[in-house]
């Protein structure tokens, strides 16, 4: 049976269709899902940030009349699927007595619980995350055969949760396997445990055990928050052991390697070490560019030509989550200014406000390390590398060194110029030349890859 909201919404849709183009209806309005009616506004779920932006900026005015007629409200409040739970929690808290009229999303019970945007297809692969991607993919394709447990660590906003969801989405879509798959954050796990303890007499603990022990694949996000409360670690250890011994796949993420999680018991640490531990590093220039292009495509943003490259260059100190936020702000600002294509002016306005990133890249590669690595690789002298010699044996390493500094470090071209005592155009020329060779010449590509790997190594050992 249709609920009140559904009935009224259907009436609204008829009216919207009279004012909004059929393209607009198809692309944006039909995808909205009303979930609650508050005193002065209707609450709807939109599938993407882009849809939300457009509802507010373009369509709301055209919707008001119908909303007034059928719901007696003039405002709409748009949330994204991932915000639904928070919204419900807050609503029930603020309105303890209100009869909860909130619609479940359609097909709730059979609905894929994973974020539809966090898929392998939407994950951009670069030198800084290709190994972890391959491991996650292997685990999704054949769980519990190779990397078990799989432990993924890296700084905030670099794609850990995205990969965990991608594994979930993949297994969910290939349902033929019939696997049961559970995703929890460490915090949810802990809360579920504490709650179960409280309900001890009502078999709370039984339910807890059942819930986690039945998983074929268990994904635990942000394990660094594991509490050092004895009971919690004990329970986690037991769950881990039971699943592991039963041949089930476990995947864990953390912002740091197991050895640096102070609250983690030694025996858990050594369990993790028995599997596959892999880090994600902040993206280099090429990966940043690909990510920016992918996000522009996914969100259907339109940016003036060349802005993607410029942003990839300038956002070197931002993590991917922050990069996404900036793209969104730029496009939003352009919309506010009444434009459908974002321009450099919008970019400058946003970047000026953003200032320094809140999370500094975790890379510890330095100028010194790059120079040392290049000199060692080509067995040449440091003074020659940064000096005036122009013979081929020196020029190529120098250009590679320039390219590496530009792609691996967040420093302006002018600073690189100072290091080599050369002007801006020479530096750009060197960079462009190697950038081109990396694409066309296998040998140069190999040299650059080797050096990047070497830099990563020295970083881990230091």
Min CB(295)–ligand ADP separation in Å: 7
Residue 321 CB, nearest approach to ligand ADP (Å): 4
Residues that bind Mg ion (CB under 5 A): 160-161
To ligand ADP, the closest distance from the beta carbon of 155 in angstroms equals 7
> Measured between alpha carbons, how far is 185 from 222 in angstroms, rounded to an integer?
6
Nearer Cβ to Mg ion (148/161): 161
Rounded CA-CA distance 165/163 in Å is 5
Least CB distance from residue 130 to ligand ADP, whole Å? 10
List of residues 6+ apart from 291 with CB closer than 8 A: 124, 126, 283, 320, 323
**How many Cα neighbours within 13 Å face the side chain of 386?**
14
Residue 161 Cβ vs ligand ADP, minimum distance, rounded to whole Å: 3
Q: Is 320 in the site for ligand ADP (CB under 6 A)?
A: yes
Report the partner that residue 213 touches, choosing among ligand ADP, Mg ion, none (CB closer than 5 to 8 A by kind): none
55 φ/ψ sector (left φ>0, alpha ψ -120 to 50, else beta):
alpha
Q: Which is nearer to ligand ADP, 129 or 399 (CB)?
A: 129
C-alpha pair distances (Å), 98 with each of 4, 102, 148, 207, 329: 16, 11, 47, 30, 36
Closer Cβ to ligand ADP, 26 or 83, answer by number = 83
**CB of 283: closest distance to ligand ADP in angstroms?**
7
Please state, in angstroms and rounded to a whole number, the distance separating the CA atoms of residues 330 and 252. Answer: 34
- Compute how many residues bind ligand ADP; rule: CB under 6 A: 17
H helices present in 72-198, as ranges: 84-94, 130-141, 160-173, 186-198
Least distance CB 156 / ligand ADP (angstroms): 5
Q: Which residue is nearest to ligand ADP (CB)?
A: 159
**Contacting residue, 321, 339, 422, 429, with ligand ADP by CB under 6 A:** 321
Q: Please, what is the minimum distance in Å from the beta carbon of residue 185 to Mg ion?
A: 8
- For the chain, the first-to-last Cα distance in angstroms comes to 64
Smaller CB separation from Mg ion, 137 or 321 = 321
Spell out, one character per residue from 109 to 148, where the chain touches ligand ADP: x when CB under 6 A holds, - when not. ---------x---xxx----x-------------------
What, of ligand ADP, Mg ion, none, does residue 254 touch, CB below 5 to 8 Å by kind? none
**Residue nearer to ligand ADP on the CB measure, 139 or 158:** 158
Least separation in angstroms between residue 82's CB and ligand ADP is 10
Q: Residue 324 interacts with ligand ADP (CB under 6 A)?
A: yes
Among 42, 43, 150, 291, binds ligand ADP (CB under 6 A): 291
Nearer to ligand ADP, 43 or 326 (CB): 326
The DSSP symbol for 303 reads B
CB of 170 to Mg ion, least distance (A): 18
**Nearest to Mg ion by Cβ — which residue?**
161
321 binding partner (options ligand ADP, Mg ion, none; Cβ < 5 to 8 Å by kind): ligand ADP
159: partner contacted, choices Mg ion, ligand ADP, none (Cβ within 5-8 A by kind) = ligand ADP
Distance (Å, whole) CA 301 – CA 284: 23
Structure tokens at 129: 């995350």
168/118 Cα distance (integer angstroms): 9
Q: How far is the CB of 407 from ligand ADP (least distance, A)?
A: 17
Work out what residue 162 binds among ligand ADP, Mg ion, none; the CB cut-off runs from 5 to 8 Å by kind: ligand ADP
Using CB under 6 A as the binding rule, the residues of this chain from 345 to 374 that contact ligand ADP are none
**Site for ligand ADP contains 54 (CB under 6 A):** no
Give the one entry of Mg ion, ligand ADP, none that residue 177 binds, where binding means its C-beta sits below a cut-off of 5 to 8 angstroms depending on kind: none
> Which DSSP string do the residues of 197-226 spell out, in sequence order?
HHTGGGTHHHHHHHHHHT-SEEEEE-GGG-
CA angle 298, 301, 302 (to 5 degrees): 135
Q: 143 or 157, CB closer to ligand ADP? A: 157
For residues 167 and 251, what is the distance between their CA atoms, to the nearest angstrom?
9
CB 45 within 8 A of CB 52: no
Contact 249, 218 (CB under 8 A): yes
Residue 370: CB atoms within 10 A of its CB come to 23
Structure tokens at 341: 């294509």
Interface residues for ligand ADP in 146-165 (CB under 6 A)? 156-162
123 touches, from ligand ADP, Mg ion, none (C-beta below 5 to 8 Å by class): ligand ADP
CA–CA separation, 236 vs 223, rounded Å?
11
Evaluate whether 242 touches 271 at the Cβ level (below 8 Å).
no
- Residue 168 · residue 183 · CB < 8 Å: yes
For position 288 contacting ligand ADP by CB under 6 A, the verdict is no
Residues that bind ligand ADP (CB under 6 A): 118, 122-124, 129, 156-162, 291, 294, 320-321, 324
């Amino acid at each position: 049976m249709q609920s009140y909201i559904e009935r009224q919404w259907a009436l609204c849709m008829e009216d919207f269709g009279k004012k909004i183009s059929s393209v607009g209806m198809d692309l944006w309005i039909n995808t909205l899902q009303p979930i609650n009616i508050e005193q002065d506004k209707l609450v709807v779920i939109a599938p993407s940030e882009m849809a939300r932006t457009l509802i507010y900026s373009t369509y709301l005015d055209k919707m008001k009349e119908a909303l007034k007629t059928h719901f007696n409200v003039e405002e709409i409040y748009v949330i994204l699927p991932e915000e639904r739970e928070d919204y419900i929690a807050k609503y029930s808290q603020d309105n303890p007595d209100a009869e909860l009229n909130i619609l479940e999303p359609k097909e709730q019970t059979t609905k894929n619980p994973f974020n539809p945007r966090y898929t392998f297809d939407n994950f951009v692969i670069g030198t800084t995350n290709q190994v972890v991607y391959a491991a996650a993919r292997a685990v999704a394709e054949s769980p519990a055969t190779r990397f078990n447990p799989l432990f993924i660590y890296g700084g905030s906003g670099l794609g850990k949760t995205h990969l965990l969801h991608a594994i979930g989405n993949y297994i969910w879509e290939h349902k033929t396997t019939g696997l049961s798959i559970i995703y929890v954050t460490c915090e949810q796990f802990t809360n579920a445990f504490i709650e179960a303890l409280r309900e001890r007499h009502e078999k709370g603990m039984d339910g807890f055990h059942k819930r986690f022990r039945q998983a074929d694949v268990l994904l635990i996000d942000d394990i660094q928050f594991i509490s050092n409360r004895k009971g919690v670690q004990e329970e986690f250890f037991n769950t881990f052991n039971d699943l592991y011994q039963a041949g089930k796949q476990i995947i864990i993420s953390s912002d740091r390697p197991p050895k640096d999680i102070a609250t983690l018991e030694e025996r858990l640490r050594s369990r993790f070490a028995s599997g596959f531990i892999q880090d994600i590093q902040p993206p280099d220039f090429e990966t940043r560019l690909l990510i920016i292009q992918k996000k522009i495509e996914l969100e259907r943003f339109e940016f003036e030509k060349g802005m993607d490259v410029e942003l990839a260059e300038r956002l070197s100190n931002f993590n991917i989550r922050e990069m996404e936020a900036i793209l969104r702000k730029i496009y939003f600002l352009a919309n506010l200014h009444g434009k459908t294509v974002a321009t450099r002016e919008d970019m400058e306005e946003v970047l000026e406000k953003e200032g320094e990133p809140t999370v500094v890249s975790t890379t510890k590669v330095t100028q010194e390390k790059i120079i040392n690595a290049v000199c060692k690789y080509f067995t040449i002298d440091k003074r020659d590398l940064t000096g005036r010699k122009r013979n081929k044996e020196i020029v190529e390493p120098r250009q590679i060194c320039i390219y590496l500094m530009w792609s691996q470090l967040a420093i302006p071209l002018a600073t690189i110029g100072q290091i080599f005592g050369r002007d801006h155009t020479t530096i750009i020329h060197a960079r462009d030349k190697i950038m081109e060779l990396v694409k066309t010449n296998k040998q140069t590509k190999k040299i650059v890859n080797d050096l990047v790997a070497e830099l990563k190594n020295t970083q881990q050992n230091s």
